[in-house]
Amino acid sequence: MIVRAGVLYDGTLEAPKRNVDIVVEGGTIGEIRAAGGECDLEAACVTPGLVNAHAHLEGSGEPDLMGMIAATTPAQRLLRAVANARKSIKAGVTTIRDLGSSNRIAADVRDAVEEGRIPGPRMRVAGAVLCMTGGHGWPIGRAVDSPWDARKAVREQLWGGADCIKLIATGGVLTKGAVPGVAQLTPDELEAAVDEAHRHGLRAAAHAIGTQGIKNALRAGIDSVEHGTLVDDECIELLTQRRGYLVPTLSAPTCILAHLEEGRQPQYVADKARALGDVMVANLRRAVEAGVRIAGGSDAGTPYNYHEDYAQEVELMSSLLGMTPQQALHAATNVAAELVGLHRGILTAGEPADLLLLRRDAGDDVRALRDPQLVLKGGAIQ
Ligand SMILES: [Zn+2]
């Protein structure tokens, strides 16, 4: 198959190529050459498929995520996750990392996609989040209360089909009583869990909003800091020194704050989101300016944060964090893909033919990523 691109962003930060043909052979990219002769598909702009490095497939943007989990059965949530996998791929998310689900739901969806039973992105999943007893995320969590318990919990996730491990280093917005600025899992619990995860070849991600928890997670050897809202200079230095990834999940607070007046979210969610919203942009911009590796991830599934809206996260990285459209696209393709670990997220020979065909140049206007003309995963039209 030959896909002709008016302009091609390959996922890197190199200058875009103009008027090229992408030759797709057996689901992977063969060569990229000057346009000429017949072609099968044609688009004004082509980019790699988007990679959402932080999502929760069982959440559909309900105003009260934890309340929804308490009020539904695992089968109901599985059905929602199946629908959300379809919405993701239709919107151009060809790879997704689920960072916490109840009842093995994300792993079952991943397996069904791989078996060809349902449409969906390539997936990596964390299983249950590992949190302190009663800590942030406990409705989708496995409580951990000592270093050895942390090791056991990692082994349980591995046994249950996890590809990566999610650790809760601080409180969070969506769990009643969990204060975002307060560290939760202790340094020795984090160290034990990260060590156990790495020994088995799994990467570890930390939910970390508060400053101390971010430092605890980084010193424990965490691979990615999720949210990172209260980063200070020392956090930024640790991130750059250790080549850690920061996944800013800008959509999560943005969507909560945009819907406060409807009054459907719990009061504690509204209060915590407001306080963090005041400082988030300035803090995260400093991390971007310091050269921290920013990977795209939206926390899709949280209130009003829909799986089909991942393009919004790319827009927010550009508008709020001062990244150019191409830098934001790079974060949401190449960088996020390297964090997820399935492929490189760039369009070059030998990589999977995961492509977005767009009607407009995404480098001129990143909103072109909304509503792609066509999505290819492994060379197949989705
Ligand atoms: Zn999350």
Classify residue 67 by burial, with Cβ atoms within 10 Å: 0-12, 13-18, 19+: middle
Ligand 1 centre distance from Cα of residue 54 (Å):
6
Q: What is the mean pLDDT of residues 278-303?
A: 97
Residues 22 and 157 in one domain: no
Ligand 1 centre distance from Cα of residue 253 (Å):
11
Instruction: Give the span between the Cα atoms of 89 and 94, in whole angstroms.
Output: 5
Residues 162 and 44 in one domain: no
Question: 268-290: b or e for each residue (b if 16 or more CB lie within 10 Å)?
Answer: ebbebbeebeeebbebbebbbee
Residues 44 and 54 in one domain: no
Q: What is the mean pLDDT of residues 124-128?
A: 98
Sorting pLDDT into bands at 50, 70 and 90, what band is 329? Answer: very high
Ligand 1 centre distance from Cα of residue 185 (Å):
16
Sorting pLDDT into bands at 50, 70 and 90, what band is 278? Answer: confident
| pLDDT digit string, tens, across residues 57-81 | 999 999 999 999 999 999 999 999 9
Residues 161 and 44 in one domain: no
Ligand 1 centre distance from Cα of residue 35 (Å):
42
Ligand 1 centre distance from Cα of residue 53 (Å):
10
Q: What is the mean pLDDT of residues 202-223?
A: 98
Give the residue among 344, 305, 333 at the shortest CA–CA distance from 9: 333
Ligand 1 centre distance from Cα of residue 69 (Å):
14
Ligand 1 centre distance from Cα of residue 348 (Å):
31
Ligand 1 centre distance from Cα of residue 157 (Å):
17
Residues 26 and 63 in one domain: no
Ligand 1 centre distance from Cα of residue 100 (Å):
7
Residues whose CB falls within 8 Å of the CB of residue 182, separated by 6 or more in sequence, listed in order = 170, 171, 210, 213
Sorting pLDDT into bands at 50, 70 and 90, what band is 132? Answer: very high
Neighbours of 119 (CB within 10 A): 17
Residues 268 and 361 in one domain: no
pLDDT-above-70 percentage for the chain: 100
Domain span at residue 15 reads 2-48+346-381
Ligand 1 centre distance from Cα of residue 41 (Å):
36
Ligand 1 centre distance from Cα of residue 226 (Å):
8
Question: 91-117: b or e for each residue (b if 16 or more CB lie within 10 Å)?
Answer: bbbbbbbbbbbbbbbbbbbbebbeeee
CATH number of the CATH domain containing 12: 2.30.40.10
Ligand 1 centre distance from Cα of residue 318 (Å):
21
Q: What is the mean pLDDT of residues 10-14?
A: 98
Residues 17 and 114 in one domain: no
Q: What is the mean pLDDT of residues 132-146?
A: 97
- What is residue 36's predicted lDDT score, i.e. its pLDDT? 96
Residues 258 and 117 in one domain: yes
Ligand 1 centre distance from Cα of residue 353 (Å):
28
CATH number of the CATH domain containing 321: 3.20.20.140
Residues 253 and 106 in one domain: yes
Ligand 1 centre distance from Cα of residue 307 (Å):
13
Residues 6 and 56 in one domain: no
Ligand 1 centre distance from Cα of residue 177 (Å):
17
Up-side HSE of residue 120: CA atoms within 13 Å toward CB?
A: 27
Residues 6 and 79 in one domain: no
- What is residue 35's predicted lDDT score, i.e. its pLDDT? 98
- What is residue 78's predicted lDDT score, i.e. its pLDDT? 98
Ligand 1 centre distance from Cα of residue 184 (Å):
16
Ligand 1 centre distance from Cα of residue 6 (Å):
36
- What is residue 381's predicted lDDT score, i.e. its pLDDT? 97
- What is residue 42's predicted lDDT score, i.e. its pLDDT? 98
Q: Dihedral angle at the C-alpha atoms of 316, 344, 225, 264, nearest 10 degrees? A: 40
pLDDT-above-90 percentage for the chain: 99
Give the residue among 269, 362, 277, 258 at the shortest CA–CA distance from 66: 269
Number of domains in the chain: 2
Ligand 1 centre distance from Cα of residue 139 (Å):
13
Instruction: Give the span between the Cα atoms of 268 and 288, in whole angstroms.
Output: 29
Cβ atoms 74, 103 nearer than 8 A: yes
Residues 197 and 280 in one domain: yes
